[in-house]
């Protein structure tokens, strides 16, 4: 009996200890959800980090149309250099003083590390292999996909091609304070050309999403009304200018080529050629700024601009 009483007493004691033990409580410097606790702004609080990576020049210029100038190099970057050496007056669009590497300070004219001359990321498009990693201009030609019944000009056909790509300088090389370098020339050497039917992949523009389907409907030849329309997938290499020079001169300097009013002719697509994305390209080392030996340069940035024009001359 004594054993039983002792056991009961032990159990009773255990019960009392359990009742007296404090309850588990979570404490924090500032309690979540408390408006007053945190000066009027309750926790939890959030913010976001953007994670991104980019390939190639992927900023569309906003042009639209069945025939459009889709892309030009926004910058031709001839680099930053310690001095102007009259024995080495040529600079290339990869930021170098030709044949004078010791004079190169920064790859970009604005003193940053990388050259700002954009180069084509051709991806796995074999049609663009020959122009990959070059500075480039794109002309998109989808003229055969438009419907003549939509009220277009009576003089307009549905055929591909029949257009000109031209370029002209807008002014002399100039600093923001007005100092100039006169008589400089921009040399475009060994012009290249490629034509791709993978338009949407190159342009990444929603207006080109239906191009492949539209061309599929046309097949090789279709007839709409009384006009026979070919697909026009031939290369627009008619009158491609292999090498040309632009005088970086004041406005009003006469241009050359056809039509001359738009400057130097770069390329011309004959009728029934050029459907797709037409790429005109130059290796960065083949884009050369040639300065006059008489140039007197300040410690400054000299800039000008070019105007590229897509026209039909009609």
**What are the start-end ranges of the H helices in the chain?**
2-20, 199-203, 211-218
Per the structure, the count of domains in the chain is 1
Does the residue 230 lie in any domain? Answer: yes
User: Does 64 sit behind a cis peptide bond, omega within 30 degrees of 0 on the bond before it?
Assistant: no
Q: Report pLDDT for 261.
A: 82
* pLDDT category of residue 257 using cuts at 50, 70 and 90: very low
Does the residue 240 lie in any domain? Answer: yes
Q: Report pLDDT for 219.
A: 61
Average pLDDT of span 245-262: 68
Query: Residues near 276 by Cβ (< 8 Å), separated by ≥ 6?
Result: 140, 141, 195, 196, 197, 199, 211, 233
Asked if residues 66 and 232 have their Cβ atoms less than 8 Å apart, the reply is: no
Does the residue 270 lie in any domain? Answer: yes
pTM assigned to the model: 0.84
Q: Report pLDDT for 149.
A: 63
Does the residue 130 lie in any domain? Answer: yes
* pLDDT category of residue 23 using cuts at 50, 70 and 90: low
3-state secondary structure of 154: coil
State the pairing for strand pair 96-97/90-92: antiparallel
Does the residue 9 lie in any domain? Answer: no
3-state secondary structure of 283: coil
pLDDT in tens, 101-144: 999 999 999 999 999 999 999 999 999 999 999 999 999 999 99
Is the Cα dihedral 84, 85, 86, 90 positive or negative?
Answer: negative
Range of the domain at 94: 72-311
Does the residue 18 lie in any domain? Answer: no
Q: Report pLDDT for 175.
A: 95
Least confident span in 78-82, 129-133, 155-159, 264-268: 155-159
State the pairing for strand pair 163-169/264-269: antiparallel
Tokens of 155: 């003089």
pLDDT in tens, 27-75: 778 888 888 888 899 888 889 999 887 888 888 899 999 999 999 999 9
Q: Report pLDDT for 16.
A: 46
Strand order in the sheet with 90-92: 96-97, 90-92, 287-290, 185-188, 244-247
* CA distance readout (Å), 273 to 74, 122, 166, 308: 27, 22, 18, 21
* pLDDT category of residue 248 using cuts at 50, 70 and 90: very high
Does the residue 256 lie in any domain? Answer: yes
Does the residue 164 lie in any domain? Answer: yes
Q: How many Cα atoms sit within 13 Å of 283 on the Cβ side?
A: 7
* pLDDT category of residue 313 using cuts at 50, 70 and 90: confident
Residue position matching structure tokens 């003229």: 143
Q: For residue 4, report the phi and psi dihedrals to the nearest 5 degrees.
A: -65, -45
Average pLDDT of span 207-214: 94
Q: Is the pLDDT of residue 13 over 60?
A: no
The DSSP bridge partners found for residue 87 are none
């Amino acid at each position: 009996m004594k054993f039983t009483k002792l056991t009961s007493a032990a159990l009773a004691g255990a019960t009392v200890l359990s009742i007296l033990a404090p309850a588990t409580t979570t404490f924090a410097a500032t309690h979540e959800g408390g408006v007053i606790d945190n000066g009027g702004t309750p926790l939890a609080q959030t913010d976001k980090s953007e994670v991104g990576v980019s390939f190639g020049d992927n900023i569309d210029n906003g042009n639209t149309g069945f025939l459009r100038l889709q892309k030009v190099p926004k910058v031709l970057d001839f680099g930053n250099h310690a001095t102007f050496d009259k024995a080495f007056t040529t600079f290339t669009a990869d930021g170098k003083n030709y044949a004078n590497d010791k004079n190169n300070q920064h790859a970009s004219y604005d003193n940053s590390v990388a050259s700002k001359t954009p180069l084509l990321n051709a991806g796995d498009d074999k049609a663009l292999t020959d122009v990959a990693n070059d500075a480039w201009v794109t002309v998109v030609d989808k003229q055969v996909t438009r419907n003549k019944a939509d009220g277009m000009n009576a003089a307009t056909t549905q055929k591909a091609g029949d257009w000109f790509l031209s370029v002209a300088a807008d002014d002399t090389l100039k600093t923001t304070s007005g100092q100039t370098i006169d008589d400089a020339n921009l040399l475009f050497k060994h012009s290249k050309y490629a034509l791709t039917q993978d338009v949407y992949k190159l342009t990444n523009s929603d207006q080109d999403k239906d191009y492949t389907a539209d061309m599929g409907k046309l097949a090789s030849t279709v007839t709409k009304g009384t006009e026979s329309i070919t697909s026009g997938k031939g290369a627009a290499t008619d009158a491609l200018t292999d090498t040309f020079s632009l005088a970086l001169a004041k406005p009003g300097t006469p241009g050359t080529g056809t039509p001359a009013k738009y400057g130097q002719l770069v390329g011309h697509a004959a009728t029934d050629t050029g459907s797709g994305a037409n790429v005109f390209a130059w290796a960065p080392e083949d884009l050369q700024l040639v300065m006059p030996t008489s140039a007197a340069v300040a410690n400054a940035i000299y800039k000008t601009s070019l105007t590229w024009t897509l026209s039909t001359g009609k």
